[in-house]
Amino acid sequence: MTDHAPKKLFIKTYGCQMNVYDSERMAEALGGRGYVETQVAEEADMILLNTCHIREKAAEKVYSELGRLKPLKAEKPDLKIGVAGCVAQAEGEEIMRRQPLVDLVVGPQSYHRLPAMDAALATGGKALDTDFPAEDKFSGLAARPRAQRGPTAFLTVQEGCDKFCAFCVVPYTRGAEVSRPAERVVDEARALVEAGVREITLLGQNVNAYHGHEGGLAGLVRTLAAIDGLERIRYTTSHPNDMDDALIAAHGDCPELMPYLHLPVQSGSDRILKAMNRKHTAEAYLRLIERLRDARPDLALSGDFIVGFPGETEADFADTMGLVEAVGYAQAYSFKYSTRPGTPAAEKPQLPGDVMSDRLARLQALLKAQQTAAQEAMVGREVGVLFEKPGRLPGQMVGRSDHLCAVHVEAPEALKGEIARVRITASAPNSLAGTLA
């Protein structure tokens, strides 16, 4: 693009933090084609739906959204509509067949090719790319722009998964595990810090399997911690089988690595864990938690749980409840099992819906009680808070504590992007309140 007015790009992002990162990079890639982002779909010259295939009925939700875009496409025949992400990878040509209004379908490993795909659309055709290309998509993307950023950012360091859990589509939609070279990650982190970022969350489908640094994820964390101005580091999502000694040690002696860890277990039953192909036991998970807490006693833990996996009995579910009681989670995500076509578990007899709903309600009641207790235990303590934005009330700022809790504080807006000590004075269901210490 040269002297033409900028074209407008609207991206709707579904799912995980990795999709948030991918959407940012897609917008940057299309910036070279003259696109600027808009938050209003009706203004857009291109609409991209960056999809997730993890949750129930993911594909149906995408088709429903595409149906809602039909009137807009009718009003603006030149509007380009694209589907990206994991549903695009899984559905491929089926998306274009079911919804002819779609002009572009691109998988999560091919979005660096978006500029070329957009150029192809200019000739009046359509574009489909759901390959797993040999080239590194990150090296094909332009350097991130130096525009001022908020104080927190995501940075993808690893993609794909080799674990093949029986319920999960990630190995099929994201491919095998691939790690970005450490020097490229460090360069991108430095650019983010220069743009105003103080906290970076390292992302991967199986982030602690990262091997782009000779010291693994722990080595990368320590290298990033040496960047002047980078105050906080987090990572997600991890697998118990890849939590090595070096990473456990980093939680104890690297102050930049925040005391919060998302470590999914999915079930507390060894029988169900085996059926899920998790390749670890409940006891091994509990011993791992002990080691982590020995290294960092104030570590806040988060987890993922699936109830109603095919074959789960009431005794299996009781084992899950027992594991939750033993760990004590500060936060957790829990879901009823839902089938994913093409995965091994999808072929097994499913549990009745009312049984799954009852178990989920009981599990969520326990998890909520633990989260409430963890929040209330913070009252009276002093914590570090990275302020991110103004709150809803005048004179209020909102930030995140070391343990990833939202904290509301009466503070000047000048504190945005700064870390300050805060004394916690009250606990609410999903946030804390405090005063500057």
Residue 299, Ramachandran bin (φ over 0: left; ψ between -120 and 50: alpha; else beta) = beta
What architecture is domain 382-436?
Beta Barrel (2.40)
Closest by CA to 239, choosing from 163, 166, 130, 178, is: 163
Overall size of the chain counted in residues: 437
82 in Cβ contact with 104 (< 8 Å)? yes
The annotation status of 161 as a binding-site residue, yes or no, is yes
The annotation status of 405 as a binding-site residue, yes or no, is no
How far apart are the C-alpha atoms of 364 and 383, rounded to whole Å? 27
How far apart are the C-alpha atoms of 381 and 396, rounded to whole Å? 20
21 in Cβ contact with 205 (< 8 Å)? no
Domain-wise residue ranges, the chain: 7-129, 152-376, 382-436
pLDDT in 10s for each residue of the chain, 437 residues: 444 678 999 999 987 788 888 898 899 889 888 899 999 999 999 999 998 876 666 678 888 999 999 999 999 999 999 999 888 888 888 888 899 999 999 988 788 889 889 998 988 888 888 776 655 656 666 666 666 789 999 999 998 899 999 999 888 878 889 999 999 999 999 999 999 999 999 999 999 999 999 999 999 999 999 999 999 999 999 999 999 999 999 999 999 999 999 999 999 999 999 999 999 999 999 999 999 999 999 999 999 999 999 999 999 999 999 999 999 999 999 999 998 888 999 999 999 999 999 999 999 999 999 999 999 999 999 999 999 999 999 999 999 999 999 999 999 999 999 999 999 999 998 899 999 99
DSSP codes, 99-134: -TT--EEE-TT-GGGHHHHHHHHTTT--EEE----S
- At 140 the pLDDT is 60
310 in Cβ contact with 275 (< 8 Å)? yes
The annotation status of 254 as a binding-site residue, yes or no, is no
Q: Are strands 331-336 and 127-129 parallel, antiparallel or unpaired?
A: unpaired
Tokens standing for residue 436: 């500057």
Give SS3 for 416.
coil
- At 53 the pLDDT is 75
Classify domain 152-376 at the CATH superfamily level.
Answer: tm_1862 like domain (3.80.30.20)
pTM over the 0.85 mark? no
Amino acid occupying residue 109: Q
Closest by CA to 243, choosing from 258, 259, 267, 262, is: 262
- At 2 the pLDDT is 44
- At 144 the pLDDT is 61
What is 7-129's CATH number? Answer: 3.40.50.12160
How far apart are the C-alpha atoms of 51 and 95, rounded to whole Å? 12
207 in Cβ contact with 238 (< 8 Å)? yes
Q: In CATH terms, are 7-129 and 382-436 the same topology? A: no
- At 342 the pLDDT is 84
